[in-house]
Structure 1
């Protein structure tokens, strides 16, 4: 997994102070961000999830995906469904979200992370029919885009050379 961006600890600190107001719909609650038209709310989905408000996080991520095709939200929502924290575990849906992110090009570089995770899912047959050749293709693309974890994974499975 990529390193946590420097602004996320700040959001977590802010988010932990919002937990107190979390049960209502005041301006300080996560629920107030669900229908917000400001893209910053996608980051609050992460904070909501990490502070235990999985329901609000899921709604925020789903809205960010619908409004902006937000790959960051696809990745976090996929991880929620892969882990089964706050929702029934659904590997097929998790992998479908990673696939969608892998086919998207975003400026922040989250598409590369989605390509890595989608490649691993294909290679291992996690939530999708196993297809090692296709998995290697996605992993190589992620590695070419600078994802060290993808290069390490390719090396581990003996597929690092083209």
Structure 2
């Protein structure tokens, strides 16, 4: 779901977390669940990618509650969309993408949320199918530079 550059950048952080002794280290994922430092949202990604889905979910939920963090909304949506570590919940995943799509974060993750929310609406994934609303969100994401949205719209135009 995430852009390749984002995944590569964040992936560089994984070695920092992989060696941590979760029971004793300040670098453990659990040590950041209640942290008031926004950097912890990156720990959510690392926790999820190393299989600690419970810590990842708790971190992402807190980041969303504290800062309306769109990055965390996207990753939490992906967890619930895939059903890895939790029961699959497409409606909740789509609701998270909608919440992110309606925001304007400085990092640009809202554009990615707009693309995914538009696609969910267009296809009826986790929400009633609404192609007109889906196209509105997809066009907005494409206008804001989402290559994924541009390609998706291009494929739709070919049909």
1:125-156 deviation digits (Å, cap 9, x = unpaired) = 00000000000000000000000110110111
The answer (yes or no) to whether the contact 1:25–1:31 under 8 Å persists in 2 is no
**TM-score, normalising length from structure 1?**
0.92
Cα distance between partner residues in 1 of 2:121 and 2:147: 18
The answer (yes or no) to whether the contact 1:113–1:142 under 8 Å persists in 2 is yes
Give unpaired runs (5+ residues) of structure 1: none
Q: Does 1:8 align with 2:10?
A: yes
The answer (yes or no) to whether the contact 1:95–1:126 under 8 Å persists in 2 is yes
Give unpaired runs (5+ residues) of structure 2: none
Aligned to 2:153: 154
Query: Structure 1 segments of 4 or more deviating over 4 A?
Result: none
Matches within 5 A, 1:37-48: 37-48=36-47
- Structure 1 residue 27, shift from structure 2 partner: 1.4
Aligned to 1:93: 92
- Structure 1 residue 8, shift from structure 2 partner: 1.3
Cα distance between partner residues in 2 of 1:25 and 1:90: 33
Cα distance between partner residues in 2 of 1:108 and 1:50: 21
The answer (yes or no) to whether the contact 1:15–1:51 under 8 Å persists in 2 is no
Cα distance between partner residues in 1 of 2:128 and 2:24: 42
The answer (yes or no) to whether the contact 1:122–1:128 under 8 Å persists in 2 is yes
Aligned to 1:137, the other structure's residue is in SS state helix
Cα distance between partner residues in 1 of 2:24 and 2:143: 44
- CA gap 1:131/1:29 in 2 versus in 1, 3 angstroms: same
Cα distance between partner residues in 2 of 1:38 and 1:4: 24
